[in-house]
Amino acid sequence: MDTIEESGPDYRALAAFRYEIRRFLRFSENAARAAGLEPQQHQLLLALKGLPVDKRSTISVLAERLQIQHHSAVELIDRLAKRGMVRRYRSRTDKRQVYVRLTQNGEEVLRQLSMHHLQELKSAGPVLARVLAAAIASVGDADAAEGGGNTPEQHPTAKKAKN
């Protein structure tokens, strides 16, 4: 006979959230391929266009935004540059610094993909929000049952502060 945990992770909420994220990512991957791009190429275009105002479009910054190695970002940029979607340029003040910029062609492809993605989010967004809210609520319920919870510093994936 199965026992039901009184407290602890809400596996159904986590699984539902993971499922909905994966559904959206699969949509995104298929949309990128239909536009003639590999999914990571689309992600790089989006990361480049969507950089926060305090970030510069260096290869290192783009690699961090995509959570990939520097050499992988270089390869993605090389492929997109060959297709005329991005262009590299050197800093006027520090010639060692190389930046990446979208071309008009890259802008147009990204715009079309982004419009398609926003339409998908219109339908998938409410479901994503609902399952995320359920997962977050389950953390609060588990914390209350256990008499507290992890602070951000105690979270298992938190990085240790360097002294």
pLDDT of residue 160: 46
Question: Does residue 54 fall inside a structural domain?
Answer: yes
The pTM of the full predicted model, rounded to 2 decimals, is 0.79
| Per-residue pLDDT tens over the stretch 129-153 | 999 999 999 877 655 555 555 554 4
Instruction: Determine the pLDDT at residue 142.
Output: 56
Which residues constitute the domain of residue 86?
11-145
- Distance from C-alpha of 27 to C-alpha of 113, rounded to nearest angstrom: 11
- Is residue 1 one of the residues assigned to a domain? no
Report yes or no on 44 lying in a domain: yes
Q: Read off the pLDDT of residues 1-57 as tens digits, 9 standing for 90 and up.
A: 455 555 678 899 999 999 999 999 999 999 999 999 999 999 999 999 999 999 999
- Does residue 104 belong to any structural domain of this protein? yes
Q: What is the CATH number of the domain that holds 55?
A: 1.10.10.10
Q: Is residue 34 part of a domain?
A: yes
Per-residue pLDDT tens over the stretch 105-127: 999 999 999 999 999 999 999 99
Is the pLDDT reported for residue 65 higher than 70?
yes
Report yes or no on 79 lying in a domain. yes
pLDDT tens string 26-40? 999 999 999 999 999
Q: How many structural domains are present in the chain?
A: 1
- Residue 23 within a domain: yes
- Residue 156: inside a domain: no
Which pLDDT belongs to residue 20? Answer: 95
How confident is the model at residue 162, as a pLDDT? 42
